[in-house]
Structure 1
Amino acid sequence: MKNVNQHPAAAAFPAARIPVAAYALCLCIAVIGSNSLVLGPIAPQVAESFGRATPAVMTASGAFGIGTALAAILLGRLIDRFGAGLTLRAALCLFTLALAASAVAPALPVLVAAQFVAGLAAGVALPSIYTLAAAVAPARRESDTIGIVLSGWTLSMVAGVSLSAVMADSVGWRFVYAFAAVAGTFALLVAMMMKLRGASAASTTSSPLAALRVSGVVPLLIACAGFMASFYGVYAYIGDHLHRALGLSLSANGLLALTYGLGFGAAAFLDGLIDRFDAGRFLPAMFLAVGGVYLVMGAASGSYVLTLAAVFFWGLANHFALNVLILRLGALDPARRGAVMGLNSGVTYLALFLGTASFGSLYAATEFAILPIAAAGLMLLAALSASLARSKAGGRVTS
């Protein structure tokens, strides 16, 4: 079975250029991604400033995840109703205000509430971005275009999270959120100037949960849940492990985030290869590869250098897995793409909450090395679910 992105005339006509809009969407992902990932590395300092334990502070990350999940599932239909461009701009405006509130939070409950609001905004913004990415992608450049947009996660790691750890060490964690609010304002201005548009707004929309009836959606969402719960569960506490168990500074967490971002970004140069493979088979294989990286990470957790090496390949494998997952979900039903992407974002951030909470309890009871092993088990579940999604396709091209 050939990938849907392969065309018989591919050799006869040169591939179109990646649209500038893809780079604008990349920036939007970077701003949202920075907030999604920034709390883990700076959590020890936030905990000290509020006089609380690190797992308590990470409830703010969980609140962000719950807010994102609720908005993505319940409000995803607005993307198809009002258009992805308008909903993205409105969501970015609310998101920026929530970041500013996080910067001045006088107590932990206020920070948690502000992050919940940020999650509500992100829950609409992320599926809007993925919907726009699929809409602006030229023929035979789908994987490359989505890869560019997903590179925003690289920017969030390299420029956002890594710098935030250094910034927290130098001037305090509040400046991290203040800087993020400024970056959010810039992303909003770019989105307004680009006048990003997706498909025309629909006159009526069905319940977002109706998209669950699309063939292949449910097993892919289960795979997404295992994939994301494993990532956020490990990521949330690896910084605390380096700080407390290995005695390293917060700047060391910044280097770790940079290393992950470099791995994630390096994979973008190979995204074009995805279109040459059967994505239905490629996705389970990538999930298994991510699981293998987790096993190596658990064995290397006592060494900072070896952990950095494992984290680089973690980013590399995660990029491929995420790219193909978005491709497969986005191609299942173009007419309900906004709702499907909303479900994807909802599951992603529900997994953030569950992964952070469950892995936090496990981390408190044992040690960090157990977390990557648990994550590897979830990746096995993800691979099996992705394989089931392919079999349910019954030979149709779903990638």
Structure 2
Amino acid sequence: MAYVLTGCVAVIGSNSLGLGPIAPEVARSLGSTVPTVMMAAAAFGLGTAASALFLARHIDRIGSRRMLQIALALLAAALVLSALSPMVSVLIVSQLIAGIASGIALPAIYSSAAAIAPSGRESRTIGVVLTGWTLSMVVGVALSAVLADFVHWRAVFAAIAILALAAIAMLSISKYREVLATESAPLPLEALQIKGIKPLLIACGAFMAAFYGIYGYLGDYLHHGLGQPVSANGLAALVYGLGFGAATLLDNVVDRLGARRVMPAAFLATGVVYVSMALFGGSFTMLLIAVFLWGLANHFGLNVLIMRLSAIDPARRGTIMGLNSAVTYLAGFVGTAAFAPLHTEFGFAVSTFVAAGLMVVAVLAAASRPTEAIVHTVQSERQLQ
């Protein structure tokens, strides 16, 4: 089941990351411009955030597997519409629908990953599922460019749609069964009152804003700042993906030490990587080394974040993971927009220092222990005694 969920993440990631490399060809084919085509990517992000916030809360009551199947079916339909788009406006609408589907699918995937994990192997199970992002970045993005070059850009969306249908079939024959929640799904604002969730969502927002703020302009810095060819952008993405995937081999460390201990350290390590980018980013080789370490640290950060959020209230995992995805994509939107003037006016080094500052916020939030959570823990211990 973990490998099926990994494939589901890879399908979603291939769509969300695949438009960028083929955008010039899409623009040429539809008689538009690359910025206009990339509005489809923006629509995808907003659709994902909105559905994760307002629809993912029903996962606990309906069931994560069923919701995931529904979401993947909607995603497949949106991808077919993307492949058939006669104009950019249709592509934008289809990617908005794809985003709505992904905003349900991702929380369902993370909820399922936490539910199927054997006791004591939570980090390793979630780590396997997260390698779907590595597959989408290393394999999906590369194959998208190849398909666009040798077949057609429409073949990219058609191929991902086929993979989505294959994922639905695999979920249908899996033996995974789950216990459904009997209570009605809480509203988004009500869910924020769940004990211990606010500091983790703050950490998530700071972590993701820093990531998207740097990743979104890394390619521009490589090309214009270091004078590297455009192909260097693909190399950087590959190196990041390899670092992210390599961290899976060390996920057993998290299971031994515990997510609460590892989380501040993972965020602190990410902040140190951002500082190293500022100090040594003038060298392409040193920057690639930092990008590899960045992928490594980000894997641990995302892994422990999902572990801690999903452990807060197992009966409401879908709702909590929906809030996580909503904050992730809103932070991505805000981070990309906020870092644009920083990158343009002050340069890449200043941007990385700001990202490091955001990671300090994430460390403090991760290390905090809300009063209500302490009271709840003490009461639980007294009941056990």
The TM-score bracket by the shorter chain reads: 0.7 to 0.9
Query: Does 2:63 correspond to 1:98?
Result: no
The amino acid across from 1:52 in the alignment is: T
Alpha-carbon distance, 1:101 to partner: 2.7
User: Paired residue for 1:383, among 363, 368, 377?
Assistant: 363
Q: How many residues align structurally?
A: 377
Q: Alpha carbons of 1:68 and 1:249: their partners in 2 closer, same or farther (altered >3 Å)?
A: same
Q: Alpha carbons of 1:48 and 1:253: their partners in 2 closer, same or farther (altered >3 Å)?
A: farther
CA distance in 1, matches of 2:19, 2:217: 10
Q: Alpha carbons of 1:278 and 1:25: their partners in 2 closer, same or farther (altered >3 Å)?
A: closer
Q: Alpha carbons of 1:107 and 1:236: their partners in 2 closer, same or farther (altered >3 Å)?
A: farther
Query: Does 2:161 correspond to 1:181?
Result: yes
Contact 1:40–1:237 under 8 Å retained in 2: no
SS in 2 for 1:140: coil
1:10-89 to 2 correspondence within 5 Å? 21-43=1-23, 51-52=32-33, 54=35, 57-89=37-69
Q: Alpha carbons of 1:242 and 1:197: their partners in 2 closer, same or farther (altered >3 Å)?
A: farther
Alpha-carbon distance, 1:43 to partner: 4.7
TM-score w.r.t. the length of structure 1 is 0.85
The equivalent residue for 1:17 is: none
The equivalent residue for 1:149 is: 129
Q: Alpha carbons of 1:388 and 1:28: their partners in 2 closer, same or farther (altered >3 Å)?
A: same
The equivalent residue for 2:293 is: 313
SS in 1 for 2:368: helix
The amino acid across from 1:192 in the alignment is: S
Contact 1:135–1:199 under 8 Å retained in 2: no
Query: Does 2:93 correspond to 1:113?
Result: yes
1:360-371 to 2 correspondence within 5 Å? 360-371=340-351
Q: Alpha carbons of 1:94 and 1:275: their partners in 2 closer, same or farther (altered >3 Å)?
A: same
SS in 2 for 1:342: helix
Alpha-carbon distance, 1:169 to partner: 5.3
User: Paired residue for 1:288, among 251, 258, 268?
Assistant: 268
Percent identity over paired residues: 55
Alpha-carbon distance, 1:137 to partner: 1.1
CA distance in 2, matches of 1:30, 1:289: 26
The amino acid across from 2:251 in the alignment is: D
The equivalent residue for 2:374 is: 394
SS in 2 for 1:202: coil
Q: Alpha carbons of 1:368 and 1:384: their partners in 2 closer, same or farther (altered >3 Å)?
A: same
Partner deviation per Cα, 1:143-166 (whole Å, 9 max, x = no partner): 111111111111112211233345
User: Paired residue for 2:304, among 313, 318, 324?
Assistant: 324
Q: Alpha carbons of 1:246 and 1:156: their partners in 2 closer, same or farther (altered >3 Å)?
A: same
The equivalent residue for 1:11 is: none
CA distance in 1, matches of 2:369, 2:23: 37
CA distance in 2, matches of 1:392, 1:204: 23
The amino acid across from 1:27 in the alignment is: G
Name which of structure 1's ranges 307-316 and 110-119 shifts more when overlaid on structure 2.
110-119
Name which of structure 1's ranges 235-244 and 255-264 shifts more when overlaid on structure 2.
235-244
The amino acid across from 1:310 in the alignment is: A
Q: What stretches of structure 2 of length at least 5 have no aligned partner?
A: 381-385
Alpha-carbon distance, 1:261 to partner: 1.4
Contact 1:297–1:310 under 8 Å retained in 2: yes
Partner deviation per Cα, 1:8-34 (whole Å, 9 max, x = no partner): xxxxxxxxxxxxx11101110111122
Alpha-carbon distance, 1:277 to partner: 1.6
Alpha-carbon distance, 1:140 to partner: 1.6
Contact 2:124–2:255 under 8 Å retained in 1: no
Name which of structure 1's ranges 335-344 and 43-52 shifts more when overlaid on structure 2.
43-52
Superposition misfits of 4+ residues, deviation over 6 angstroms: none
Query: Does 2:316 correspond to 1:336?
Result: yes
Query: Does 2:353 correspond to 1:373?
Result: yes
Q: Alpha carbons of 1:311 and 1:100: their partners in 2 closer, same or farther (altered >3 Å)?
A: farther
The amino acid across from 1:132 in the alignment is: S
Q: Alpha carbons of 1:78 and 1:179: their partners in 2 closer, same or farther (altered >3 Å)?
A: same
CA distance in 1, matches of 2:268, 2:298: 11
SS in 2 for 1:394: helix
The equivalent residue for 2:195 is: 215
1:274-285 to 2 correspondence within 5 Å? 274-285=254-265
User: Paired residue for 2:206, among 213, 221, 226?
Assistant: 226
TM-score w.r.t. the length of structure 2 is 0.88
The equivalent residue for 1:14 is: none
The amino acid across from 1:293 in the alignment is: V
Q: What stretches of structure 1 of length at least 5 have no aligned partner?
A: 1-20
CA distance in 1, matches of 2:156, 2:228: 20
Q: Alpha carbons of 1:270 and 1:74: their partners in 2 closer, same or farther (altered >3 Å)?
A: same
Q: Alpha carbons of 1:117 and 1:367: their partners in 2 closer, same or farther (altered >3 Å)?
A: farther
CA distance in 1, matches of 2:372, 2:26: 46
User: Paired residue for 1:130, among 88, 110, 119?
Assistant: 110
The amino acid across from 1:268 in the alignment is: T
